[in-house]
Structure 1
Amino acid sequence: MIQVFWYIYAALLATSTIGFFVHGGYRSPIFLIDLAFTVIAWIGLFGFVTHHQIFTPFVWQVIFAAVVLWDLLFFFFIKAHVTTEEPAAGTASMTIISGLLMLALLGPLYYALFHYSF
């Protein structure tokens, strides 16, 4: 039964990324790098869900650290410099709220990558 929830979670992640891609969200090279990290993380999620060893655990340990580091740097620092939107009032509180939302949405992915690599 838990397996079904992992498949649903993977499908929701894929659907949201495909929607972002279709609406032109990956036009910048930095967003394409983010897409590459996302796809690599999905491969790990797929391996975790299907119980197939794709790479060695050491490779996934490096990938896990790189994905978490990239997501944090990208979300809190890089994305703000790349986007052309004007910062609105209350940006700090919105960044914290959206960061917590990001953690809630990507937490299961990090959990899966961690357990897949260790």
Structure 2
Amino acid sequence: MHIFWTIYLGVLGTVAIAFLLKGLRTPSLIVDFIISVITWIGLFGFVTNTSILTPLIWKFVFVGGLLWDVLFSYIGKHDDGEAAMEDISGRAKSILIGVTLLITLGPLYYGLYQYAF
């Protein structure tokens, strides 16, 4: 099981680096990148069983990061995905975003929850 967590950690890190290299053009993308790095550090602590900061801080990171990701995904304006998503109805778009969040970020927040609580 540890190897899967390590692979997931590597994939998230690679995606973060790719976004950084692509360029952070808006303030919301910069905030998203910073929050992603902080949550990645928490997941790193969980996967490697390393104590980084205190559990109280990770509780705030867990709640804040989860709220940010959900709000940013549903409310945020994204330059890249808007053209691809404009043909999809509102309800289908919401379901698609929710399923995508659950699949891609579910393990991150599960691990962060385990690390914080």
The TM-score normalised by the length of structure 2 is 0.87
Distance 1:91 1:23 in 2: 29
Give the Å deviation of 1:6.
Answer: 0.8
Q: Give identity over the alignment, percent.
A: 40
Structure-to-structure mapping, 1:97-112, within 5 angstroms: 97-112=96-111
Distance 1:94 1:17 in 2: 24
1:83 aligns with 2:79: yes
Distance 1:56 1:21 in 2: 28
1:6 aligns with 2:5: yes
Give 2:30's aligned residue.
Answer: 32
The letter for the 2-side match of 1:88 is E
Structure-to-structure mapping, 1:58-73, within 5 angstroms: 58-73=56-71
Superposed CA deviations along residues 56-86 of structure 1, whole A, max 9, x for unmatched, are 1111111100000000111101x22x63845
Work out the number of aligned pairs and report it.
Answer: 114
Structure 1 stretch 12-21 or stretch 39-48: which is displaced more? 12-21
Segments ≥4 residues shifted beyond 6 Å: none
Superposed CA deviations along residues 17-73 of structure 1, whole A, max 9, x for unmatched, are 22222223x221110000000000011001001111111111111110000000011
**2:46 and 2:115 in contact (8 A); partners too:** yes
The letter for the 1-side match of 2:112 is L
Aligned CA RMSD, in angstroms, stands at 1.8
Q: Which runs of 5+ in 2 are unaligned?
A: none
Give the Å deviation of 1:91.
Answer: 4.0
Q: Which runs of 5+ in 1 are unaligned?
A: none
Distance 2:43 2:31 in 1: 19
